């Protein structure tokens, strides 16, 4: 499985988590790619604004999007950073459902 990670650049917390997430993905045998067009899923790392931008990217690439909430509200991004390992494993295993929202 190929993942494109979209994060808000320049924020230390999101940059650190995106790097950690990339490591978890590759350690689990999947791949992190440089563009959404070459991915199977877009992963958003940040708050709701970042999730909205990632949703737009995913829509254009015709792939699903999942969001890790590193913001304050988290209305749109439901995955939590402390669950990253198990979330990555479930995504790779296909143990998720897709909710059509757009």
Residues involved in catalysis: 48
Q: Which residues pair with 65 in a beta bridge?
A: 42
The reported pLDDT for the residue numbered 99 is 83
Element (H, E) at 84: helix 84-93
Helix axes 84-93, 12-27, angle to 10 degrees: 50
Q: What is the dihedral of CA 83, 85, 88, 90, to 10 degrees?
A: -80
DSSP state of 71: S
How high is the mean pLDDT in each 10-residue block of the chain (102 residues)? 92 93 98 96 94 95 95 80 94 90 62
pLDDT at 45: 96
86 C-beta neighbours (distance < 10 Å), count: 12
DSSP at 66: E
**The predicted structure's pLDDT at residue 80:** 87
């Amino acid at each position: 499985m190929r993942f494109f990670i979209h994060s808000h650049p320049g924020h230390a917390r999101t940059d650190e988590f995106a790097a950690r997430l990339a490591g978890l993905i590759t350690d689990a045998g999947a791949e992190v790619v440089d563009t959404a067009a070459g991915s199977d899923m877009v992963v958003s790392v940040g708050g709701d604004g970042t999730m909205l931008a990632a949703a737009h990217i995913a829509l254009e690439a015709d792939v699903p999007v999942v969001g890790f909430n590193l913001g304050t509200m988290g209305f749109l991004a439901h995955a939590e950073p402390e669950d990253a390992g198990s979330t990555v494993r479930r995504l790779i295993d296909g143990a998720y459902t897709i909710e059509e929202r757009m």
